């Protein structure tokens, strides 16, 4: 289990990670997303023990991470900015990581390199961006660690490779008990593969919930009211995150289950009312707009 308490990191007076307390369960895929500059990469680097926190704690299986070889043997970090040794090949990188991770599975790595047609002795500097990402992920999945942290996991991968990587992650979880933590701006990917999601904003955790629960507890309500009095009555009774108006049609993002919202709307006179589910992207936008973030600044893949 991974646990942080009051985790804080500042660079030059800018608070990149602000008082984050969160627990990441074993056996689940934790997805990390957020607004631009929210601190996702810094958070993953703190979890990996690459940098030390200013305040708070990071514990992996009750062990502090920074400057702790025992804890780091259980994790592998795939950064967004990939690095490989100059003139190295997959064979060279595999040999290196086999000296770092005692459980590194060289035979498995060699097979996957061949399956992905990456070339066992081919120089990595001749790879495309997507091929480099593939290789980095394969190294991580073969390291034999309990946890893998992947920053911008699917960046540069085509749809076929994305599906292949997802299948490999699922296989490692099932066969070897791997617990992945992935960050991505691609909310559709996170929605597709993650069990739990954390939304960062300005260095803090805006929300942290199971994906299934989140989509159940926040809904979209589209309605046309009989009159303005009924509209005001509904808006007082509902827990509204935001509202968009198109003529007489009002579209609300409402916190609550479908049954709760429908129960409230039974007391309201409407011409039309419908409760529909939200995508993770819509939830993301609603939550960040609720704290004053300008949606026009979002970059969503």
Mean pLDDT is lowest, of 34-38, 60-64, 191-195, 287-291, for 287-291
- pLDDT tens sequence across 25-70: 999 999 998 877 889 999 999 999 999 999 999 999 999 999 999 9
**What would the two tokens of residue 131 be?**
């091929």
The yes-or-no verdict on residue 241 having pLDDT over 50 is yes
Report the side by side order of strands in the sheet with 75-78.
75-78, 147-151, 179-183, 30-34, 196-201, 204-210
Give the span between the Cα atoms of 10 and 211, in whole angstroms.
30
What does the pLDDT read at residue 293? 57
Average pLDDT over residues 94-102: 96
Average pLDDT across the chain, whole number = 90
Domain boundaries, the chain: 2-202, 213-297
Residue 274: pLDDT band with limits 50, 70, 90? very high
What does the pLDDT read at residue 51? 95
- pLDDT tens sequence across 120-170: 999 999 999 999 999 999 999 999 999 999 998 888 889 899 999 999 999
Average pLDDT over residues 105-110: 97
213-297 fold? Alpha-Beta Plaits (3.30.70)
Q: What percent of the chain has pLDDT over 70?
A: 96
The yes-or-no verdict on residue 21 having pLDDT over 90 is yes
What does the pLDDT read at residue 48? 95
* Distance separating the N- and C-terminal Cα atoms of the chain: 30
Average pLDDT over residues 205-220: 83
> Within a 10 A sphere around the Cβ of 157, how many other Cβ atoms?
20
Q: Using the 8-state DSSP alphabet, how is residue 29 labeled?
A: P
Residue 299: pLDDT band with limits 50, 70, 90? very low
Give the span between the Cα atoms of 60 and 27, in whole angstroms.
14
Mean pLDDT is lowest, of 100-104, 182-186, 245-249, 281-285, for 281-285
Residue 242: pLDDT band with limits 50, 70, 90? confident
Name the pTM for this structure: 0.82
Indicate if 213-297 has the same CATH topology as 2-202: no
Contact 274, 223 (CB under 8 A): yes
Residue 291: pLDDT band with limits 50, 70, 90? low
Q: Among 51, 8, 32, which residue's Cα sits nearest to residue 185?
A: 32
Mean pLDDT is lowest, of 84-93, 160-169, 185-194, 261-270, for 185-194
What does the pLDDT read at residue 290? 65
Contact 4, 165 (CB under 8 A): no
The yes-or-no verdict on residue 301 having pLDDT over 50 is no
Q: Among 197, 205, 233, 212, which residue's Cα sits nearest to residue 278?
A: 212
Query: What is the CATH architecture of 2-202?
Result: 3-Layer(aba) Sandwich (3.40)
């Amino acid at each position: 289990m991974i646990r942080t308490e009051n985790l804080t990191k500042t660079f030059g007076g800018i608070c990149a990670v602000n008082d984050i307390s969160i627990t990441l369960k074993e056996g689940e895929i934790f997805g990390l997303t957020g607004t631009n500059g929210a601190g996702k990469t810094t958070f993953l680097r703190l979890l990996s023990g690459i940098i030390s926190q200013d305040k708070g704690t990071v514990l992996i299986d009750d062990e502090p991470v920074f400057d702790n070889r025992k804890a780091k043997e259980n994790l592998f970090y795939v950064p967004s900015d990939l690095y490989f040794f100059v003139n190295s090949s997959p064979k060279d990188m595999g040999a290196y990581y086999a000296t770092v991770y005692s459980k590194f599975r060289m035979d498995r790595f060699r097979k996957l390199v061949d399956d992905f047609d990456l070339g066992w002795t081919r120089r990595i500097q001749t790879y495309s961006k997507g091929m480099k990402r593939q290789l980095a992920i394969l190294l991580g999945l073969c390291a034999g660690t309990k946890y893998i942290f992947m920053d911008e996991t699917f960046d540069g991968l085509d749809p076929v490779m994305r599906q292949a990587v997802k299948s490999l992650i699922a296989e490692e979880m099932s066969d070897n008990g791997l617990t992945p933590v992935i960050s991505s701006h691609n909310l559709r990917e996170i929605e597709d593969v993650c069990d739990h999601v954390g939304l960062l904003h300005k260095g803090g955790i805006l929300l942290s919930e199971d994906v299934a629960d989140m989509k159940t507890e926040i809904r979209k309500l589209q309605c046309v009211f009989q009159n303005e009095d009924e509209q005001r009555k509904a808006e007082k009774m509902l827990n509204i995150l935001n509202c968009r108006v198109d003529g007489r049609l009002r579209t609300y993002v409402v916190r609550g289950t479908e049954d709760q919202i429908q129960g409230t709307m039974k007391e309201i006179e409407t011409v039309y009312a419908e409760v529909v589910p939200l995508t993770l992207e819509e939830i993301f936008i609603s939550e960040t707009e609720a704290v004053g973030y300008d949606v026009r600044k979002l970059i969503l893949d």
